[in-house]
Amino acid sequence: MITHISIKDFAIIKDLELDLHPGLNIITGETGAGKSIVIEAVSMALGSRADTDFIRTGADKACITLTADPEGLDVSAELEEAGVPADEPLVIRREISAGRKSLCRVNGTIVPLSFLGRLCRHLADIHGQYDTQTLLNPDGHVDVLDLYGGSDLGNVVGMVRGFYTDMTRTASALTSLRNRLADSERQKDLARYEVQEIDAAGVQPGEDETLEEEIRLMQNSENIYQTLSQIYDAVYDSDDSASGRLGSCLSALEGISSFSKDLGDAAQQFSDAYYALDDLGRDLRRLRDSISFSPEELEEKTERLDLLEKLKRKYGGSLEAILAYRDKAAQELQTIENADAELEDLESKLKLYKEQYETAAARLSVLRKRTAKTLEEEVDRELADLNFADAALSVSIEDAPASEKGSDRVEFLIRTNKGEAFKPLAKIASGGELSRIMLAMKRIIGDLDEIPTMIFDEIDAGISGATAGVVGEKLRSIAEDHQIVCITHLPQIAALGDHHFRIQKTSDEISTQTTVVPLSEAERVEELARLLSGTVVTESARQQARELLKH
């Protein structure tokens, strides 16, 4: 609910501060004191379009600040989406400046006007000349009707929403699959060719590095053979080979090895080195004898390496990437080849979900029409109580494209006199009539729309006497569960308030300004007496005021 209103430099308001409370808040004042200006300012704070003509003469900007208790307000998702901190209390500030865009702030964060409007629809409804309430938006009428229908309607609404979600999700998947398969034959041929090309190449991990080494050896085979031959001859095959001389040295060393342990160890080490050299010789001979040069084999390996390089350029830069690409192409090929079965499955599911949706939507439409009749009768009784004996509500339910809310377009229509055509609520010309119609609607559905604050302006236009008392009682009834702010000229309504404020206008030689003050019990008697008797307050009027308050 709204706990505080601050208005600065707005029209004839220089600086106005107003604390609001739970229950029925009554605002009275003389004609022209600025009551409607307060509502206009609140309307702008709640998201209506700014008008720079309302900036007080001599001021640079007008500022309206609303402070609200967020308890019970389900706005956390909206605040998070807009990046607004979920502070308590909720502070909404609107600045209207001449020559530049107005600023909207929520908890200190600048937000777009569209966001402010969406957020404040959860906070307050204004009924009267400056309507911003949800009941004037036909898009929300179906939700109001469904809420009024209770659990019977709510359960079917849930079914319709679930079937619609299944239907749209399946339709989207089906469309996506059909789009993918629009040129599936070309994709299938390409995937099959790529898999066959890679498989035919018989790619093995690391094969390119092995080929590069083998090609280098073959290209340098003559030089390698000559070098190995020279080394082998020098060490083993010549008359004065290193191996022969080392053999002689080993024999000599073994001849003296028995004279000491150190000589024996030296002979053993020399023997190990000699036979290691002998093993090396066999390896050198094997390497030399394995060297061969075949132009055909070199060409074959070079062509193989060229093929691998071509595949690497085409499929990813490495043999591992080629193999990964092959697996992906094979999976895509399998998906395409299995698409017919998937397509048939999705089409079958879509048909089922569509049938379920249409059955549930038809059932929902029947329940809505039945509920609409009950709502019409109940609203008509309320309107009769409010001195609208010839007024009537009509709930229009027409066919509409399928949506998560079903296949109905719901709109509340009203007529205020017999013989007139039913018109949309937004077409009601009189602010007073509209306020009373909204009061009747709120009396019935106020607990359903979960909007904590309702502001009524001009609700007493064209009524008096007993009707005024009925209007006041209905306001008190709604105020048991909501915060009500009501501007009125009628003492019968004002006397029923839980809190009473007076708006008054003062002037000097320079300027005029509006202020608002809470009234004590004694001041309230005087204000009610003024409403009863006019400019001159009589003792009789005071006594009547006391009787109204007592009653």
Share of the chain above pLDDT 90, in %: 30
* Residue 501 clears pLDDT 90, i.e. is over it: yes
Last residue of a domain, one of 314, 337, 360: 337
What's the pLDDT score for residue 263? 83
CA angle 433, 438, 442 (to 5 degrees): 155
* Residue 418 clears pLDDT 90, i.e. is over it: no
Same domain, 227 and 318: yes
Helix (H) or strand (E) holding 24: strand 24-29
**2-10/13-19 β-pairing:** antiparallel
**If DSSP codes are grouped into helix, strand and coil, which group holds residue 461?**
coil
Tell me whether residue 383 is in a domain: no
What's the pLDDT score for residue 131? 54
Tell me whether residue 550 is in a domain: no
Decide if 140 contacts 128 (C-beta within 8 A).
no
Residue bearing tokens 């849930």? 158
Q: Which amino acid is at 15?
A: D
Tell me whether residue 50 is in a domain: yes
* Residue 129 clears pLDDT 60, i.e. is over it: no
Q: Which two tokens stand for residue 487?
A: 């501007």
Last residue of a domain, one of 312, 337, 362: 337
* Residue 298 clears pLDDT 70, i.e. is over it: yes
Last residue of a domain, one of 271, 302, 337: 337
**What is the signed CA dihedral for 446, 451, 455, 459, rounded to 10 degrees?**
-20
Same domain, 212 and 325: yes
Tell me whether residue 258 is in a domain: yes
Tell me whether residue 36 is in a domain: yes
**C-alpha to C-alpha distances, 412 to 393, 397, 408, 428, 439, nearest whole angstrom:** 7, 9, 13, 12, 14
Same domain, 252 and 117: no
pLDDT digit string, tens, across residues 208-250: 888 887 777 777 766 777 777 777 777 777 767 777 777 788 7
Same domain, 456 and 326: no
pLDDT digit string, tens, across residues 37-81: 888 899 899 988 888 888 988 888 999 999 999 887 778 888 888
CA 252 to chain CA mean position, Å: 96
- Higher per-residue pLDDT: 480 or 30: 480
Same domain, 193 and 321: yes
The C-alpha atoms of residue 146 and residue 169 are separated, in whole angstroms, by 24
pTM: 0.64
**DSSP alpha helix (H) spans, 109-260:** 113-120, 141-148, 150-180, 184-201, 207-219, 221-232, 242-255
- The maximal CA–CA distance of the chain, rounded, in angstroms, is 153
Share of the chain above pLDDT 70, in %: 95
Average pLDDT score over the chain: 85
Same domain, 31 and 109: yes
Q: Among 448, 499, 458, 457, which residue's Cα sits nearest to residue 478?
A: 448
Helices (H) and strands (E) in the chain, counts: 18, 15
The C-alpha atoms of residue 72 and residue 287 are separated, in whole angstroms, by 90
**DSSP alpha helix (H) spans, 11-124:** 35-45, 76-81, 113-120
The C-alpha atoms of residue 4 and residue 65 are separated, in whole angstroms, by 8
The C-alpha atoms of residue 235 and residue 245 are separated, in whole angstroms, by 10
CA 266 to chain CA mean position, Å: 87
The sheet with strand 392-403 has its strands ordered as 392-403, 406-415, 423-424
Residue range(s) defining the domain that contains residue 289:
185-337
Query: By CB neighbour count within 10 A (0-12 exposed, 13-18 middle, 19+ buried), where does 229 fall?
Result: middle
Q: What is the mean predicted confidence (pLDDT) over 537-541?
A: 88
Decide if 218 contacts 301 (C-beta within 8 A).
yes
**C-alpha to C-alpha distances, 207 to 119, 203, 214, 305, 320, nearest whole angstrom:** 66, 7, 11, 9, 11
Same domain, 94 and 203: no
The C-alpha atoms of residue 19 and residue 516 are separated, in whole angstroms, by 10
Computed over its alpha carbons, how large is the radius of gyration of the chain?
47
Tell me whether residue 528 is in a domain: no
Q: Which two tokens stand for residue 514?
A: 């509006």
Q: What is the mean predicted confidence (pLDDT) over 402-430?
A: 86
Q: What pairs with residue 505 in β-bridges?
A: 514
What's the pLDDT score for residue 80? 86
Tell me whether residue 396 is in a domain: no
418 phi, psi to nearest 5 deg: -60, 145
Q: Report the CATH number that the domain containing residue 468 is assigned in CATH.
A: 3.40.50.300
Handedness of CA 423, 428, 433, 437 (dihedral sign): positive
154 phi, psi to nearest 5 deg: -60, -40
Q: Among 103, 106, 48, which residue's Cα sits nearest to residue 78?
A: 106
The C-alpha atoms of residue 337 and residue 335 are separated, in whole angstroms, by 5
Say how many domains are in the chain: 2
What's the pLDDT score for residue 53? 87
- Residues 6+ away with beta carbon under 8 Å from 542: 525, 526, 529
Q: What pairs with residue 515 in β-bridges?
A: 504
pLDDT digit string, tens, across residues 142-185: 988 998 898 889 999 999 999 999 999 999 999 988 887 776 76
- What 3 state SS string does 90-149 have? EEEEEEEECCCCCEEEECCEECCHHHHHHHHCCCEEEECCCCCCHHHCHHHHHHHHHHHC
Q: How confident is the model at residue 2 (pLDDT cuts 50, 70, 90)?
A: very high
What's the pLDDT score for residue 183? 67
Tell me whether residue 162 is in a domain: no
Same domain, 67 and 189: no
Helix (H) or strand (E) holding 429: none
Same domain, 128 and 206: no
pLDDT digit string, tens, across residues 71-81: 877 788 888 88
Same domain, 129 and 214: no
The C-alpha atoms of residue 485 and residue 224 are separated, in whole angstroms, by 105
Q: Which two tokens stand for residue 360?
A: 């549930």
pLDDT digit string, tens, across residues 360-411: 999 999 999 999 999 999 999 988 888 787 889 999 999 999 999 999 999 9
The string over 437-458, giving b where at least 16 C-beta atoms fall within 10 Å of a residue's C-beta and e elsewhere, is: bbbbbbbbbbebbebbbbbbbb
pLDDT digit string, tens, across residues 428-454: 756 667 777 878 888 887 666 678 898
**Could you please report the per-residue DSSP string of 308-335?**
HHHHHHHHTSSHHHHHHHHHHHHHHHHH
Same domain, 128 and 194: no
